């Protein structure tokens, strides 16, 4: 990427009232609507976040474009909005950022599906050597693999035997917001753990402390403040939160129904087993009766002959 000069000394999205913010935040950036809203409106913060995730200097990012912007202020639903952030760089590479704090038990196929769609962008007749890099980075507030927790994990296609890299242009990463304590020194150098702490921060005092560490994070903090103090945006954050809670309740009800059905199926299977056992016993009794009747018939025949 071509290098440009950026002087990150002060947030371009400064909000004077931010200095007086205190107490609990109404919603933090684990709310995926607020996450998208802040990073869509604040390209300076977005550039800082992307550079941190790629372990590079923001000055080397010439330009980036959000390919799936939401109409800010419009009402939102899963059917009409996609709340991940699809970024296209000036060199054609693609990155998708997604916030998901509830474990819906579908992250692995979901993330692979998203990444494959991002990667497969060649038109008919294009040279396969022209394919660009695709990144999918998910922010999860739960542990994806309970037996293998990690703060920032990156996955590529590798040889099963010796782990030789097949390609580095197909990249899937996961940041577990609940494991900032496991951040490596490299993660800390690029401030990825600080970004994660910002997303989960619940008080303005905590956010102000984090904002002092990095101008890009400071910009995101100001944009977050201006967003949640806008009644229209705050209402949409609330609606999105209610929608997620409602979806979780629906999934829980369905899971409970599936559990009840499974229990009923188990009981029916047990009853079928008992019936089959009874049928077997009856068949055995019928066989014994038939044998006794045969013996009786033979005895009667023998007596008759005498």
The structure tokens listed for 23 are: 């107490």
Q: Which residue has the higher pLDDT, 152 or 72?
A: 152
pLDDT of residue 114: 92
Q: How confident is the model at residue 69 (pLDDT cuts 50, 70, 90)?
A: confident
- Cβ contacts of 195 within 8 Å, gap of 6 or more: 49, 52, 217
Cα(218)–Cα(8) distance, integer angstroms = 10
Long-range contacts of residues 234-240, Cβ cutoff 8 Å, at least 24 apart: 234/26, 234/27, 236/33, 236/73, 236/75, 236/76, 237/26, 237/27, 237/31, 237/33, 237/34, 238/27, 239/75, 239/76, 240/31, 240/32, 240/33, 240/34, 240/76, 240/83
- Render pLDDT for 15-31 as a digit per residue (tens, 0 to 9): 778 888 999 999 999 99
pLDDT band at residue 151 using 50, 70 and 90 as cut-offs: very high
Neighbour count for residue 261 (Cβ, 10 Å) = 10
Which pLDDT belongs to residue 73?
55
Q: pTM for this one?
A: 0.78
Q: What is the pLDDT of residues 222-268, one digit of tens each?
A: 999 999 999 999 999 999 888 888 777 887 788 788 888 888 888 89
Q: What is the pLDDT of residues 272-282, one digit of tens each?
A: 999 999 999 99
Instruction: Return the exposure string of 207-231: e unless at least 16 CB atoms fall within 10 Å of the residue's CB, then b.
Output: bbebbeebbbbbbbbbbbbbbbeee
**Helix, strand or coil for residue 134?**
strand
pLDDT band at residue 8 using 50, 70 and 90 as cut-offs: very low
CA distance 279 to 176: 56
pLDDT for the residue 49: 97
Q: In this predicted structure, what is the pLDDT of residue 72?
A: 60
The domain limits of the chain are: 16-229
Share of the chain above pLDDT 90, in %: 60
- Other Cβ atoms less than 10 A from the Cβ of 47: the count is 22
Crossing angle of helices 43-53 and 192-200, in 10° steps, is 130
Residue 264 has a CB neighbour count (10 Å cut-off) of: 10
**Least trusted range by pLDDT, from 69-83, 134-148, 229-243:** 69-83
Cα(237)–Cα(27) distance, rounded to whole angstroms?
A: 7
125's torsion region: left (phi>0), alpha (psi -120 to 50) or beta? left
Higher pLDDT among residues 1 and 83, named by residue: 83
Q: Is the pLDDT of residue 9 over 80?
A: no
Averaged pLDDT of the chain:
88
DSSP character for 13?
Answer: T
160 vs 102, residue with greater confidence: 160
> Are the beta carbons of 95 and 135 closer than 8 angstroms?
yes
CA distance 83 to 87: 12
- The position carrying tokens 């409602």 is 246
Query: So what's the pLDDT on residue 45?
Result: 96
Residue 7 pLDDT class (50, 70, 90 cuts): very low
pLDDT of residue 213: 94
């Amino acid at each position: 990427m071509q290098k440009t000069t950026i002087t990150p000394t002060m947030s371009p999205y400064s909000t004077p009232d931010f200095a007086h913010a205190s107490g609990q935040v109404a919603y933090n950036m684990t709310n995926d609507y607020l996450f998208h809203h802040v990073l869509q409106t604040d390209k300076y913060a977005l550039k800082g976040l992307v550079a941190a995730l790629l372990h590079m200097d923001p000055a080397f990012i010439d330009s980036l474009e959000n390919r799936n912007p939401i109409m800010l202020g419009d009402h939102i639903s899963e059917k009409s909005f996609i709340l991940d952030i699809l970024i296209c760089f000036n060199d054609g590479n693609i990155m998708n950022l997604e916030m998901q704090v509830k474990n819906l038990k579908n992250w692995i196929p979901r993330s692979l599906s998203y990444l494959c769609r991002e990667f497969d962008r060649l038109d008919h007749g294009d040279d396969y050597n022209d394919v660009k890099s695709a990144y999918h980075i998910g922010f999860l507030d739960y542990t994806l693999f309970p037996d293998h927790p990690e703060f920032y994990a990156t996955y590529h296609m590798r040889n099963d035997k010796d782990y030789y890299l097949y390609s580095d242009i197909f990249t899937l990463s996961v940041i577990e917001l609940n494991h900032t304590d496991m951040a490596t020194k490299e993660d800390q150098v690029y401030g990825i753990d600080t970004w994660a702490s910002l997303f989960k921060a619940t008080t303005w005092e905590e956010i102000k402390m984090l904002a002092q560490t990095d101008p890009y994070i400071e910009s995101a903090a100001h944009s977050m403040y201006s967003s949640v103090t806008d009644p229209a945006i705050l209402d949409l954050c609330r609606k999105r939160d209610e929608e997620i809670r409602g979806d979780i309740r629906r999934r829980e009800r369905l899971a409970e129904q599936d559990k009840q059905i499974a229990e009923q199926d188990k009981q029916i299977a047990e009853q079928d087993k008992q019936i089959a056992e009874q049928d077997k016993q009856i068949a055995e009794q019928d066989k014994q009766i038939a044998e006794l009747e045969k013996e009786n018939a033979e005895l009667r025949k023998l007596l008759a002959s005498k």
